[in-house]
Structure 1
Amino acid sequence: MARLLALDYGYKRTGIAVTDEMQIIASGLTTVLTEDLIAFLTDYFKKESVELVIVGEPKQMNFEASESEVYIQEFLVQFKKMFPDMSVVRVDERFTSKMAFQTMIDSGMSKKKRRDKALVDEISATLILQSYLYNK
Structure 2
Amino acid sequence: MARILAIDYGTKRTGIAVTDELQIIASGLTTVSTKELIPFLKAYIIKEKVELFLIGEPKQMDNTASESELYILPFIDKLKKEIPNIPIERVDERFTSKMAFQTMIDSGLKKNKRKNKALVDEISATLILQSYLYSK
How many positions carry a matched residue from both structures? 136
| Paired position in structure 1 for 2:25 | 25
Matched AA of 1:47 = K
TM-superposed deviation, 1:52 = 0.4
| Paired position in structure 1 for 2:69 | 69
Secondary structure at the counterpart of residue 35 of structure 2: helix
The one-character-per-residue Cα deviations of 1:5-48 (angstroms, maximum 9, x if unpaired) are 00000011000000000000000000000010000001001000
TM-superposed deviation, 1:85 = 1.2
Q: Please, what is the CA RMSD of the aligned residues?
A: 0.4
> CA separation in 1, counterparts of 2:56 and 2:65?
12
> CA separation in 1, counterparts of 2:98 and 2:61?
14
The one-character-per-residue Cα deviations of 1:35-78 (angstroms, maximum 9, x if unpaired) are 10000001001000001010000001111100000110000010
Matched AA of 1:10 = G
| Paired position in structure 2 for 1:7 | 7
Matched AA of 2:75 = F
- Structure-2-length-normalised TM-score: 0.99
| Paired position in structure 2 for 1:16 | 16
Secondary structure at the counterpart of residue 54 of structure 2: strand
Secondary structure at the counterpart of residue 18 of structure 1: strand
Where does structure 1 differ by over 6 angstroms across 4 or more consecutive aligned residues?
Answer: none
| Paired position in structure 2 for 1:58 | 58
Matched AA of 1:126 = T
* Structure 2 alignment gaps of length 5 or more: none
> CA separation in 1, counterparts of 2:94 and 2:104?
17
Matched AA of 1:41 = L
Map 1:100-115; keep pairs closer than 5 Å. 100-115=100-115
Q: Does 1:47 align with 2:47?
A: yes
Secondary structure at the counterpart of residue 61 of structure 1: coil
Matched AA of 2:90 = R
> CA separation in 2, counterparts of 1:73 and 1:86?
16
| Paired position in structure 2 for 1:34 | 34
